[in-house]
Amino acid sequence: MAVTKKLPKHLHKFIVKQPYKNYTAQNQAVWRYVMRINTDYLSNVVHQSYIEGLEKTGISVDEIPKMEGMNRILKDIGWAAVSVDGFIPPNAFMEFQAYNVLVIASDIRTLEHIEYTPAPDIIHEAAGHAPLIANPEYAEYLRRFGEIGCKAISSAKDFEMYEAIRLLSILKEDPNSNVDAVTKAQKSVEELQNNMGELSEMAQIRNLHWWTVEYGLIGTLENPKIYGAGLLSSIGESKLCLTDKVKKVPYTIETASQNFDITKPQPQLFVTRDFAHLSFVLEEFANKMSLRKGGLKGVQKLIKSNNLGTIELSTGIQISGVFMNVINDKNGKSIYIQTTGPTALASRDKELIGHGVEYHSEGFGSPIGKLKGINLAIEDMFPKDLEVYGIYEGKKITLLFEGNIKVEGEVITGKRDLQGKILLISFKNCTVTQNENILFQPEWGIYDMAVGKEIVSAYAGPASLYSFKNIGKLSKEKTQKIEYSPQELKLHKLYKKVAKIRKDETLDLEKLTLIFISLKENYPSDWLLPLEIYELIYKSNSKLESNFKAYLSEIKKIKKYEQLIKNGMKLITKKH
């Protein structure tokens, strides 16, 4: 597949083949209903780029889009789309975005959840997200968000929360789910939400994503327009959000600390004055991240995350692995770092030859900082300086760092970058200590010491994407394929017959009458198919038309269908 060629291999595991043949005729009718209602209503309340974008991104109002067709059109605006199974981990989601790839959940909401679904679906992803990327400024915001967001450090609880929300959304969307299982999953999410502790970088950046990309408003507080995909794809919330029932707040960096509940309508929404302001807030947040600040706090966040991460030193050397320990001095400066398990060293995101995970399979440790009593840091020494201080091949030497980290051994060699800056010094017969604490012993082999006076960056994931074979976890919970009863399958066949009549543009009243009889006898609570038929026979002046009008009026008495049928009938009369 052409799209995946530009993606790193570890993202391929999240991509699934779009199950287009599995979409039922009822699924297609759900898509059609939501899209027609939304485009009619949204034309007056949405950001102007949305309606233009629907056409530019090849999204049809009448049928669920095929990924291949979307990609042919998205290619012209520098983007692509891939199909995935429901929620994927936030880091992976962001990383796809960084490569200008839109992640689209392959499932579609059921008829019962036509107004709003707790699970990501193709209406939300394709019809909500895709059209706006035709706006270059917004598309660049999305790409940049992905680039920065995938470097955000998670807490150990973040993945637990992701799994809990994913399970809850799967269970809520499946009509065959056990009620007790849904209640238990809901309780699990609520317990985690109440016990997350201090928000991680990933949790904060997810909040920013939610309140902009998913649930954002744009313009003025008095007259905002919709641009968030969650609002664009929800019939109910797209109307509710512009009423006084939902509080409107100016969008600022403080929004990063505002959590959300994915299972309920949002009590307040944030309004950005324009798309440029989104990028301004994103940069403001990025400046607070360990990605740009580094330091002791950055390493501590990586240790807490218990996940693969990277620190970069002032020389540019990058150390990627699972960080287990950092020693700091009384001034709060990192003086020694340690990883556990497979570790890789890199420079400028490219693995240093001979310093991959096979070589550093059991972890890595190194002092950070300057030598005691010497103003010139090792990284700033020219070859002559190194010779003066005895740091050259074959020389037995003792290096005492500030913070009392002592490295004693025989210099074997060093590694430099293209500019000649020394990145790494290797020793044999080496002992590394801090006072009485032994950090490395000669029998452990060669000691490779990273060179750098400070940590300038700390972020999630590896520096070189090719250093680690299996980055990111696939969820153990798979989206449940809905098992339809024989009765439901017969109903889907009726939907298919009606769709064919519409496509053929030949009004077969006899066939539609037989379908009507079957509907009344076997499916008295189905409201969408009668609406689809009424659209075909409207203004036909037939007896069947008056029968259907009366029939829809009866179903409309069921409260949960009342507004849905009203909206559909209003659209039919407007069309004619």
Task: Kindly state whether residues 151 and 237 are assigned to the same domain.
Answer: yes
Query: Measured on CA atoms in the order 86, 87, 92, 97, is the torsion positive or negative?
Result: positive
| Residue 306 belongs to a domain | no
Report whether pLDDT(323) > 90: yes
Q: Once rounded to an integer, what is the mean pLDDT over residues 254-264?
A: 85
Report whether pLDDT(195) > 70: yes
Token pair for residue 227? Answer: 């641009």
Task: Kindly state whether residues 260 and 405 are assigned to the same domain.
Answer: no
Identify whether the C-beta of residue 366 lies closer than 8 Å to the C-beta of residue 449.
yes
73-87, 308-322, 470-484: range with lowest mean pLDDT: 470-484
pLDDT recorded at residue 129: 87
d(CA 568, CA 566): 5
| Residue 466 belongs to a domain | no
Domain boundary among 268, 284, 300: 284
pLDDT recorded at residue 417: 87
Report whether pLDDT(124) > 90: no
| Residue 189 belongs to a domain | yes
Give the model's confidence band at 40: pLDDT under 50 very low, under 70 low, under 90 confident, else very high.
confident
pLDDT recorded at residue 236: 79
Query: Measured on CA atoms in the order 49, 211, 236, 168, is the torsion positive or negative?
Result: positive
Between residues 143 and 175, which one has the greater pLDDT? 143
Report whether pLDDT(143) > 70: yes
d(CA 172, CA 573): 34
Phi-psi region of 72 (alpha: psi -120 to 50; beta: other; left: phi over 0): alpha
Token pair for residue 256? Answer: 């990063």
| Residue 309 belongs to a domain | no
* pLDDT tens, residue by residue, 385-429: 999 998 989 999 999 999 899 999 999 998 988 888 899 999 999
Token pair for residue 62? Answer: 């009448």
Domain residue limits at 368? 314-458
For the chain, percent of residues with pLDDT exceeding 90:
62
Task: Kindly state whether residues 41 and 153 are assigned to the same domain.
Answer: yes
pLDDT recorded at residue 5: 78
Identify whether the C-beta of residue 313 lies closer than 8 Å to the C-beta of residue 345.
no
Task: Kindly state whether residues 128 and 256 are assigned to the same domain.
Answer: yes
Task: Kindly state whether residues 158 and 271 are assigned to the same domain.
Answer: yes
d(CA 518, CA 87): 38
Report whether pLDDT(476) > 80: no
Report whether pLDDT(472) > 90: no
Report whether pLDDT(562) > 60: yes
Give the model's confidence band at 526: pLDDT under 50 very low, under 70 low, under 90 confident, else very high.
very high
| Residue 55 belongs to a domain | yes
Smallest CA-to-CA distance from 517 within 489, 472, 539, 547 is with 547
Task: Kindly state whether residues 493 and 454 are assigned to the same domain.
Answer: no
Report whether pLDDT(356) > 80: yes
Task: Kindly state whether residues 190 and 257 are assigned to the same domain.
Answer: yes
d(CA 365, CA 325): 9
Task: Kindly state whether residues 432 and 529 are assigned to the same domain.
Answer: no
d(CA 210, CA 120): 13
CATH number (domain holding residue 103): 1.10.800.10
Task: Kindly state whether residues 108 and 250 are assigned to the same domain.
Answer: yes
Give DSSP secondary structure letters for 505-562: T---HHHHHHHHHHHHHH-TT--HHHHHHHHHHTTS--HHHHHHHHHHHHHTTSHHHH
SS3 237: helix
| pLDDT, averaged across the chain | 91
Cα 267 to chain centroid, rounded: 23
Task: Kindly state whether residues 133 and 248 are assigned to the same domain.
Answer: yes
Most confident option among 92-106, 230-244, 283-297: 283-297
For the chain, percent of residues with pLDDT exceeding 70:
98
Give the model's confidence band at 175: pLDDT under 50 very low, under 70 low, under 90 confident, else very high.
confident
What is the pTM for the complete model shown?
Answer: 0.88
Identify whether the C-beta of residue 207 lies closer than 8 Å to the C-beta of residue 256.
yes
pLDDT recorded at residue 55: 78
d(CA 321, CA 337): 11
| Residue 522 belongs to a domain | yes
Angle of the 559-575 helix axis to the 528-537 helix axis, nearest 10: 20
| Residue 442 belongs to a domain | yes
Give the model's confidence band at 114: pLDDT under 50 very low, under 70 low, under 90 confident, else very high.
confident
Q: Once rounded to an integer, what is the mean pLDDT over residues 86-92?
A: 85
Give the gyration radius of the chain's Cα atoms. 29
Give the model's confidence band at 289: pLDDT under 50 very low, under 70 low, under 90 confident, else very high.
very high
Domain boundary among 267, 284, 301: 284
How many domains are contained in the chain? 3
Report whether pLDDT(343) > 70: yes
Report whether pLDDT(1) > 60: no
Task: Kindly state whether residues 345 and 265 are assigned to the same domain.
Answer: no
pLDDT recorded at residue 3: 66
Task: Kindly state whether residues 506 and 571 are assigned to the same domain.
Answer: yes
pLDDT recorded at residue 2: 65
pLDDT recorded at residue 113: 85
d(CA 367, CA 433): 10
Domain boundary among 458, 475, 510: 458
